[in-house]
Structure 1
C-alpha cells in the first residue's frame, strides 16, 4: 500500500492538484473539520460505497491517526482501486480545514 505524509499532501493541495480524498472518520469527528475537497465516507460505509467510486482515479484515504484509513485502503486495493494512505491522519495534518 502506498502512503503519503501530511507535508506531501499539503504541497499537492497548495499546488491545486486534482485530488480525490476520502475521509473515513465518523460523523462526530468530521464536525471538527476536514481536509478541503475531501469526501466523507465513514469506514463502515466503504463496502457499500465502493461501487460508486471510479477505478481510474487514485484515492487518498484519511482518518484520525492512519489506522482506519489503512484498513479502508486495504479493502479498496483488494477491489482493484489505486489508493494512498495518509500517514498519521488528521492528528498529523496541520493544513487548512473545511467545515461542512
Structure 2
C-alpha cells in the first residue's frame, strides 16, 4: 500500500475513520507528545506480533518522529504477512508543523 501524508492522516483522524494507528517511537517520546496511537516501540514490535494478529487483514497506519522507524516497521509487518500497512511520511514532526500553519 502507498504511504500516507500528514494531511491525509489528519483528515482521517478528524473523521474517526477505522484503522489501527500505531506509534513506534520509544515510550518517553510518546509520553512527551502523542496523537493517540497505540504505542509499541520499534524494538519491541517482533515480540508484540500476537497483539497485532487481529489486524492482519485491516489497515494499519504507522508513525514515528520523522518517518524512518515507521518505514522500517511497515517493511517488517509486510514481511510478516500484514498487507495493508501505511507509513506516515514525515512523522509527528511533519504533523505538528502542519498544525502550526
Return the TM-score normalized by structure 2.
Answer: 0.87
Q: What secondary structure is seen at the aligned counterpart in 2 of 1:13? A: helix
More helix by proportion, 1 or 2? Answer: 2
Q: Following superposition, which runs of at least 4 residues in structure 1 exceed 4 angstroms of deviation?
A: none
More strand by proportion, 1 or 2? Answer: 1
Could you tell me how far 1:16 is from its partner in structure 2?
1.5
Q: What secondary structure is seen at the aligned counterpart in 1 of 2:60? A: strand
Unaligned 5+ segments in structure 2 are: none
* Counterpart-to-counterpart distance in 2, 1:15 and 1:76: 26
Q: What secondary structure is seen at the aligned counterpart in 1 of 2:32? A: coil
Return the TM-score normalized by structure 1.
Answer: 0.87
* Counterpart-to-counterpart distance in 2, 1:13 and 1:92: 15
What is the aligned-residue RMSD (CA, Å)?
Answer: 1.5
